[in-house]
Amino acid sequence: MTAAVPQLVVHRDKELMAQAAAARLITKIVDAQSARGTASVVLTGGRNGNALLAAIAASPARDAVDWSRLDLWWGDERFVPSDDPERNAVQARDELLDAVPVNPARVHEMPASDGVDGSDVEAAAARYAEELAKAAGPGDRTGVPAFDVLLLGVGPDTHVASLFPEHPGVRETERTVVGVRGAPKPPPTRISLTLPAIRAAREVWLLAAGEDKADAVALALSGPGELLAPASGVYGRSRTLWLLDRPAAAKIPPQLYPPASA
């Protein structure tokens, strides 16, 4: 599989970035539903992922989406109890999902530590991998659906999902979901999609805002490889889009990448 050449969109500030990303995602969902009847999106947490969801909630254009025909997945999750406010899924419900008529059967949360697998994070990861495999189509050879858009935040250390530099999860080439132990960012136990699962998406959008992300963005776009900078190893089958604000883009050579079209 050939990596889609990254395209960059740089916005004035994080607020404008969130609003523009929300408009872009609503359009992508509506287009997918018009073409195939349904759409699938992989959500991300963190400040930028949550800001995007809040911007969708505040947008009148959200009513253009048929929320009952949208499958929602997660790129990673903190392996904590299901009602823990640190869970990405809890935050997504607070920011958006409780305000729109989603079909609960199509909201695919990652297992929690108080679920049927208890504290066994590897069993929980395998359970999510099974759910993804059941949703995959006959042509989806990676064992996951062909997501329309997969969203990722970029950490200051270049981690994406819960794939951290030099950690075992970033080396995984067979499984689509892994349990993560000893993560450098609390909580230490997590569940994450792997690079093969991420690369199955039609489009991968990476979100980064703030000057604390500038070094990570510049490093990832310099192409050091996923072991050193996991964000450099993610791409979509048809498009890889970096959505940035000016502080996060401050250390990128301006001639390095082509601008993205709308």
Mean pLDDT for 26-48 is 98
pLDDT at residue 223, rounded to an integer: 87
Please, are residues 187 and 79 in contact by the beta-carbon 8 Å criterion? Answer: yes
Cα 127 to Cα 117, 121, 132, 256: the distances in Å are 9, 10, 9, 41
Domain residue ranges of the chain, discontinuous segments joined by +? 7-256
What residue type is 227 in one-letter code? L
Please, are residues 48 and 153 in contact by the beta-carbon 8 Å criterion? Answer: yes
Whether pTM > 0.85 for this model: the answer is: yes
Q: Which pair of tokens denotes residue 259?
A: 């601008």
Can you point out the beta strands (E) in 52-91? 70-74, 76-78
As a whole number of Å, the end-to-end CA separation of the chain is 25
Mean pLDDT for 173-196 is 97
Place of tokens 């823990």: 84
**How much is the mean pLDDT over the chain?**
95
Residue 48 has pLDDT above 90, yes or no: yes
**What is the per-residue pLDDT across 79-115, written as a single tens digit (0 to 9) for each?**
999 999 999 999 999 999 999 999 999 999 999 999 9
Residue 177 has pLDDT above 90, yes or no: yes
Q: What is the CATH number of domain 7-256?
A: 3.40.50.1360
